[in-house]
Structure 1
Amino acid sequence: MTEQYVWDLNEIDETQVAVVGGKAAHLGALSRIDGIRVPAGFCVTTDAFRRIMAEAPSLDERLDRLSRVDPDDREAIRTLSAQIRRTIEEIAVPDDLAAAITRALARLGEQAACAVRSSATAEDLPTASFAGQQDTYLNVVGPTAVLQHVSRCWASLFTERAVTYRRRNGIDHRTVHMAVVVQRMVFPHASGILFTADPVTGNRKVATVDAGFGLGEALVSGLVNPDVFKVRDGEVVAKEIAAKERAVQALADGGTREVAIEAQRQEQPALTDAQAVRLVQLGRRIEAHFGRPQDIEWCLADDGFQIVQSRPVTTLFPVPEAGDAENHVYVSVGHQQMMTDAMKPLGLSVWQLTAMVPMHTAGGRLFVDVTRRLAAPASRA
């Protein structure tokens, strides 16, 4: 049965992370949100990855050794992970699996330029994003090149940084599997990242847009400083326009390259204010769908904005559930008592049952809502 190896993105939703990985599950969900455009594509499932891993019994012993390595022993991790990657890349893709991938590719256009992107099962999770831990390949053209880069994505589950990240987060290498997303390539004028909550201040009502010219790799790799727009209540409330000296662009025959931006264009904004506001409106739809602040990768081409990834923002401290959209001020009970550590569930329950006022939980801590007392002059002092 070849159906289990390749699924179209619009067949996928968030419940299928075990089969398609975090990135593909989110892309499938994004494609269903009204007004959100996602580049067409398909996913090579984790069943295909498991089949490839079973083709090389020698990997078992190396994975055992990798699970025992000290996460601070960079040399041992580097050596072992390189051996595992090389072994995976050298495994020939079985004919029926290659045929299933090629058939899916033909629906996009056999010589269409594609992005080939890793989608691990431990990726884009609510508590650990794994951002940048596995590999993405842009502007890949033709079935032979796509198959080769699918193999590279499978192998990228064992990059040195991904292995170290899993070891430090206590995640067993054998429990993580790799799916691969293949999407039609977008050739954008501008691209970047949208945070639907300000990642510096934690303010959920201020969205931050980072923008640069060309492909988003220039921003992700730190090649350029982005323009930064801060948007609140449908208007740009602050912006910084950077001197963007370089960009990454796609080549006509495949692959990408760095290019210099002409001097008179370097300090032009990558987006207009209206475009930044429109992008944040799309971001709010995505945030509402997933129910938490999002870190969103976007592209702007001739036909408008396309969304190429959305993951939870994992660095924000959680806030108590309020049940409304109003502003609230909370006081941390633990910090008042010089108890700064998170509390155990039993402790939280006892305090909530015995306290004189309602206590709300977030991040393993208790908070009292003092909004009404601060709003009244008599109790404010």
Structure 2
Amino acid sequence: MSHFVLGFHEMEKTQLLLVGGKGLNLGELSKIQGIQVPEGFCVTTAGFQKAVKGNETFQALLAQLAMLKVEDRDQISDISRKIRQIIMEAEIPADVAKAVAHYLSQFGEKHAYAVRSSATAEDLPHASFAGQQDTYLNVIGKDAILQHISKCWASLFTERAVIYRMQNGFDHRQVYLSVIIQKMVFPHASGILFTADPMTSNRKLLSIDAGFGLGEALVSGLVSADCYKVQNGQIADKRIAAKKLAIYGRAQGGTETKQIDPDQQMSQALTDGQILQLARIGRQIEAHFGQPQDIEWCLADDTFYIVQSRPITTLFPIPEANDQENHVYLSVGHQQMMTDPIKPLGLSFYLLITPAPMRKAGGRLFVDVAPRLTTRAGREALLNTVGADPLTKDAIMTVIERDFIKLMPNDQTAPIPGNGQTDMPVQFENDPTIVSDLMKRNQTSIEELKQNIQAKSGSDLFDFILEDIQQLKKILFDPQSTAVFMAAMNASAWINENMNE
């Protein structure tokens, strides 16, 4: 009808700035076959911007807020309160209210709705912002919904939301709010599903938190939840909590907290069959989005409804692998005592000069040592190589003991596949002049490079660098150079081994 309101099925993947992260994800969820999402629509950020556009006091307060730091709590609190008051007192533009009324007439004006905030800096792959803006449940009637739209807009400037943006480097003037209007579901049970275990980061272990009634009881911390773990299509663990309270919707609107019957408090919120059914839904959603998901769900009339799905931002990223095999990644930087992330230019350059098959993740480089673990000889060589780092050695021993990587059948002496390393010399001439000759050769190479590179500029400079890298690799992996540092390493190892004698 207008760019002020969009139905879930009308949303496109490119409309993050119009509907926010939560709205965009709901639009995507509603298009997955077999996934049940309560019907709804979104008041876009264009409506919010029109409501505050031209308000000079609002703009002036935003400018003041942008000058503050996290430590300025009193000033943040005062300015945020003033901004919320301005938004609450501002009249919702007539064309926005008209568009909302149009969609309500389609979905049912007398139906109960959840009114939820969706900011443009929310449910992103690198920052979730979950819970920073407000949600209102069981809102009935057009006037009440319009009033709660203003409340959601104002919640963009709660003190906690403002400080969270400051901590994550988001400009208050570049973050806008859309509002989701979604049909209420009154569930028997609800909760949160993580398609990767949030405690261990195990991506194969799915974790479900479940309680009775509306999910707000769990999200707010009012009650403890049952916790179910599912792996490979089977329930791996169950912890049943004493669920003494639950939140339910009231007939006249709003919610209320009720005591749960003592006989029901220790019963499972979900049956075993429902646990496995929900796990399958979670895996389907994860496959659609292509990464582990934090999913809000509810169960009503034996049907699971999905009311939100966002990326799990706390998991360390893993290197991409286009297969279903097991992999064991060692951090290259940690082996070199370089524990900080490497900048993109450094990553790119390192990958151009290394002969080893490396992968990127989280600003770091990794080598997959799984092929080495398929033979006994490979395992022994790898453990000797990483032996100087007891933590890495212990981790690899654990991988071996758990039989995570299978040994090749009847193979004890086969070459180590996928090693990707240059052959290290085991013998070399005892000649001290090797060091001075290497230094002289390298210095001559650098002087030649300085002369040749001065005449290059623009794209020719990059072409020259790429071409020269082949020469650099010859210098870096000169067998004589390798012999020098191996001599130092072998001498050090010999001293350590024989020191007691």
Q: Where in structure 2 are the equivalents of 1:1-381 lying within 5 Å?
A: 3-54=2-53, 56-381=55-380
Q: Deviations over 1:81-119 (max 9, x none)?
A: 111011101111232321221121121211110000101
Displacement of 1:31: 0.4
Q: Which has the higher contact order (CA 8 A, sep 6+)?
A: 1
Q: Which structure shows the higher strand fraction?
A: 1
Identity %: 58
Q: Deviations over 1:288-336 (max 9, x none)?
A: 1111111000010004000000100000000011111121111111111
Contact 2:22-2:308 at 8 Å conserved across structures: yes
> Counterpart of 2:209 in 1: which secondary structure?
strand
| Structure 2: segments with no counterpart, 5+ residues | 381-501
> Counterpart of 1:3 in 2: which secondary structure?
coil
| Structure 1: segments with no counterpart, 5+ residues | none
Displacement of 1:76: 1.3
Contact 1:190-1:211 at 8 Å conserved across structures: yes
In structure 2, relative to structure 1, the CA distance for the partners of 1:13 and 1:283 (3 Å cut) is: farther
Q: Which runs of 4+ in 1 moved over 3 A?
A: none
> Counterpart of 2:182 in 1: which secondary structure?
strand
Letter in 1 for 2:279: V
Letter in 2 for 1:242: A
* Higher mean C-alpha displacement, 88-97 vs 163-172: 88-97
Q: Deviations over 1:176-226 (max 9, x none)?
A: 111101011010000000111111111111110010100000000001111
In structure 2, relative to structure 1, the CA distance for the partners of 1:303 and 1:270 (3 Å cut) is: closer
Contact 2:48-2:177 at 8 Å conserved across structures: yes
Measure the CA separation in 2 of the matches of 1:357 and 1:131. Answer: 40
Displacement of 1:13: 2.9
TM-score (norm 2): 0.75
The alignment yields a C-alpha RMSD, in angstroms, of 1.1
Letter in 2 for 1:329: V
TM-score (norm 1): 0.98
Letter in 2 for 1:248: I
Letter in 2 for 1:76: Q
Displacement of 1:57: 2.0
> Counterpart of 2:92 in 1: which secondary structure?
coil
Measure the CA separation in 1 of the matches of 2:233 and 2:134. Answer: 35
> Counterpart of 1:298 in 2: which secondary structure?
strand
Aligned residues: 380
Q: Deviations over 1:111-156 (max 9, x none)?
A: 1100001011111101001000001000000011000000101111
Measure the CA separation in 1 of the matches of 2:75 and 2:183. Answer: 38
Displacement of 1:346: 2.6
Displacement of 1:55: 5.0
